[in-house]
Amino acid sequence: DAKTTQPPSMDCAEGRAANLPCNHSTISGNEYVYWYRQIHSQGPQYIIHGLKNNETNEMASLIITEDRKSSTLILPHATLRDTAVYYCIVLLTGTASKLTFGTGTRLQVTL
Amino acid sequence: KAGVTQTPRYLIKTRGQQVTLSCSPISGHRSVSWYQQTPGQGLQFLFEYFSETQRNKGNFPGRFSGRQFSNSRSEMNVSTLELGDSALYLCASSLFALDGNQPQHFGDGTRLSIL
């Protein structure tokens, strides 16, 4: 699975959009981009995933660049409850893909 | 729709004992995976079960074992507990077997402390 690079921390004001970047320059054509988050003392929470098209669900939007070398997770209206560590992962299709988390981005949402 | 349920949430054991952790997946999900999470090693894959069969196994000693029942519920057993087994044990379920396009949905874990 391709490696990912994320900034270690970010701040966002409550009510504003949080844009979390992820670099995956070695991604291959059949690898999906996944985003999870983990709030302290809870299990990881699946947010969204995509292959090459932009995706949106009730939680967030995922924007993948045309060359697929990077992506951005967008939380449209961040709240204090969105304060968490966000993990960007790349998983290969057709295999038993076991999740591993890097260091992620610690998002702090403030008043 | 109920999420993944893990019991118990907290457990304290002593070295040499054994422990069984339980996981009930999201209704309709047939794949259950187990992970160990520690501050030092991060998230590590233990094994995956699908249709009562172990499909994949991580690099853990044979003291770690699991099983899945016909209703997709799963149990994980750790025998001869060691201090280093202290961790958050997470269960994740997915609709089908892991294939890279299956989101895994996690429970809140069982925090195991070994004294």
DSSP for B16-40, written as a single string: T--EEEEEEPPTT--EEEEEEEETT
Taking residues B34-38, what's their average pLDDT? 94
Residue B83 Cα distances to A6, B10, B12, angstroms: 32, 16, 11
In the predicted structure, residue B1 carries a pLDDT above the cut 90: no
Q: Which of A31, A46, A101 has the CB atom closest to B42's CB atom?
A: A101
Taking residues B4-27, what's their average pLDDT? 97
Share of chain B above pLDDT 90, in %: 84
Interface test with B, best of A90, A99, A100 (most B CBs within 10 A): A99
Touching check for A53 and chain B: CB below 8 Å? Answer: no
pLDDT digits (tens, 9 = 90+) for B96-113: 888 878 899 999 999 999
pLDDT digits (tens, 9 = 90+) for A27-38: 988 889 999 999
A1 falls in which pLDDT band (50, 70, 90)? low
Taking residues B18-40, what's their average pLDDT? 95
pLDDT digits (tens, 9 = 90+) for A90-106: 988 766 667 888 889 99
Q: Which of A34, A43, A95 has the CB atom closest to B90's CB atom?
A: A43
Q: Which residue of A has its CA nearest to B42?
A: A101
Taking residues A4-33, what's their average pLDDT? 94
Which B residues 45-84 touch A at CB under 8 Å? Answer: 45, 48, 55-56, 58
Q: Which of B42, B45, B100 has the CB atom closest to A94's CB atom?
A: B100
In the predicted structure, residue A40 carries a pLDDT above the cut 70: yes
pLDDT (0 to 100) of residue B102: 84
Contact A31 B100 (CB under 8 A): yes
Closest CA to B115 of B19, B4, B44: B19
